[in-house]
Amino acid sequence: MTKPVAFVLKGYPRLSETFIAQEILGLERAGLPLEIISLRRPTDTKRHPVHDEIKAPVIYLPEYVGDEPVRCFRAWLRVRKLAGYSTACRAFRKDWARDRTPNRARRFVQAMVLSAERGGSISALHAHFIHTPASVARYAAIMLQMDWSCSAHAKDIWTSEDWDLADKLAEADWAVTCTQNGCATLKSLAADPSRVHLSYHGLDLSRFARFDNRKQTRDGSKPGLPIRFVSVGRAVTKKGYDTLLDALALLPKDIFWSFDHAGGGELLNELRQQAEGLGIAGRINWHGSMAQEDVLKLYRQCDVFVLACRIAPDGDRDGLPNVLVEAASQGLACISTNVSGVPELIDDGDHGVLVSPNDPVALAVALSGLARDPALRRRLGVAADEKVRGHFDHLVSIGQLMELFAERRMDTST
């Protein structure tokens, strides 16, 4: 039996990373044996249905040395005998000279535990995110003299140092990323740009069937029938929810509206306070983290999806948010910003409306325009749905990844 590929994840399962779980399940169903290596234990109290369908075993590494010191020490006793251990130590010392952080040291220890406990049971390593998970995968691959690859996404690209990205790209067999912008950036840093590939996550469309029963007559003119805006995303800086609240407060008084938000995040309390200060708290429903089936119901109850993406001060930004693809698949008219990979899904005026980030006035204009025009909403929603079903089926990405994994196996056997 073929040994599994170890997928190294920052945390598992995570509600905000449905796209990773969807990919793992798709690869399993396509015949790739897998196991999951998680750098930390789950913090979410809920799970998506897809997590229960995945059969791969999950191994949790010690997040901190102090959590399991005996386990870490035993791992070191074993891996120091590996042929690649001294090379891995040199790589770590080179990185440590440029990044003297506890995080860097933890990743090397986690790589030792991974190598000691799973080295003889796996065929290769694949990291989801090119920052910390890829550091663990890289060090372990050096110790084990094993092939490795990675998937890069958004924050991990834009908040990493160029030297760190370049070193990983030089050593990984291949890398994939999910936006044209991210792909171009990684290619510019790679010694061999041909080993960097663009692969959109897409959706498992069997979970997001077409929805044609939306009430298109709401135009915000009736107090008892408000236009319903919805957004799904973590309450973090890059999502721009403070800008969205400012925009909602600017809507004309003759538009009756409500706003639903689904997602956790450290800024939720601040956003609630902001809504109180703006006098709009009574129109907002904060749902917190929701399972995928509940999010789907919410999409189908609402009229306009909005996500005010922006680039955070530390460089963090979205790639192509999967929630936009999900909302579009339900025929929702979408409003977002022209940041990062969003225009790869939404052509302004054709599949939705795009505005500049950090501009509540422009966002309010877009919100009021779609609120008053049900026919426009329907046209944009239908076009967005067609684009999703034509270009963002996750089976395309699964096929691309299976080809890359198959090429690796062929190279190994020759």
Q: For position 48, what pLDDT does the model report?
A: 86
Residue 214 domain flag: no
Q: For position 412, what pLDDT does the model report?
A: 47
Domain shared by 322 and 408, yes or no = no
- Collect all residues with Cβ–Cβ distance below 8 Å to 101 and sequence separation of at least 6: none
Domain shared by 195 and 55, yes or no = yes
Q: For position 216, what pLDDT does the model report?
A: 66
What is the tally of structural domains in the chain?
2
Q: For position 1, what pLDDT does the model report?
A: 57
Residue 29 domain flag: yes
Domain shared by 167 and 242, yes or no = no
Q: For position 19, what pLDDT does the model report?
A: 92
Strand order in the sheet with 333-337: 284-286, 257-262, 227-232, 304-306, 333-337, 353-355
Give me the CATH number covering residue 267. 3.40.50.2000
Residue 293 domain flag: yes
Domain shared by 249 and 319, yes or no = yes
List the chain pLDDT tens, one digit each, 414 residues. Answer: 589 999 999 999 998 898 999 999 999 999 999 999 999 998 887 888 899 999 999 999 999 999 999 999 999 999 999 999 999 999 999 999 999 999 999 999 999 999 999 999 999 999 999 999 999 999 999 999 999 999 999 999 999 999 999 999 999 999 999 999 999 999 999 999 999 999 998 899 999 999 987 766 899 999 999 999 999 999 999 999 999 999 999 999 999 999 999 999 999 999 999 999 999 999 999 999 998 899 999 999 999 999 999 999 999 999 999 999 999 999 999 999 999 999 999 999 999 999 999 999 999 999 999 999 999 999 999 999 999 999 999 999 999 999 999 986 545 443
Q: How far apart are CA 406 and CA 32, in angstroms?
A: 9
Domain shared by 383 and 399, yes or no = no
Domain shared by 108 and 189, yes or no = yes
Q: How far apart are CA 110 and CA 188, in angstroms?
A: 30
169 burial (CB, 10 Å; 0-12 / 13-18 / 19+) is buried
Residue 212 domain flag: no
Residue 217 domain flag: no
Domain shared by 387 and 404, yes or no = no
Sign of the Cα torsion 340, 346, 352, 355 reads: positive
Unique residue bearing structure tokens 């897409």: 202
Domain shared by 287 and 398, yes or no = no
Domain shared by 124 and 10, yes or no = yes
Q: How far apart are CA 293 and CA 254, in angstroms?
A: 34
Domain shared by 23 and 139, yes or no = yes
| Full domain range(s) for residue 263 | 227-391
3-state SS, residue 355: strand
- The pTM for the full model equals 0.90
Domain shared by 48 and 149, yes or no = yes
**Helices marked H in 283-373:** 292-301, 322-329, 360-372
Computed over every residue of the chain, the mean pLDDT equals 95
Domain shared by 187 and 238, yes or no = no
- Distance, first Cα to last Cα, the chain: 19
Q: For position 46, what pLDDT does the model report?
A: 80
Residue 105 domain flag: yes
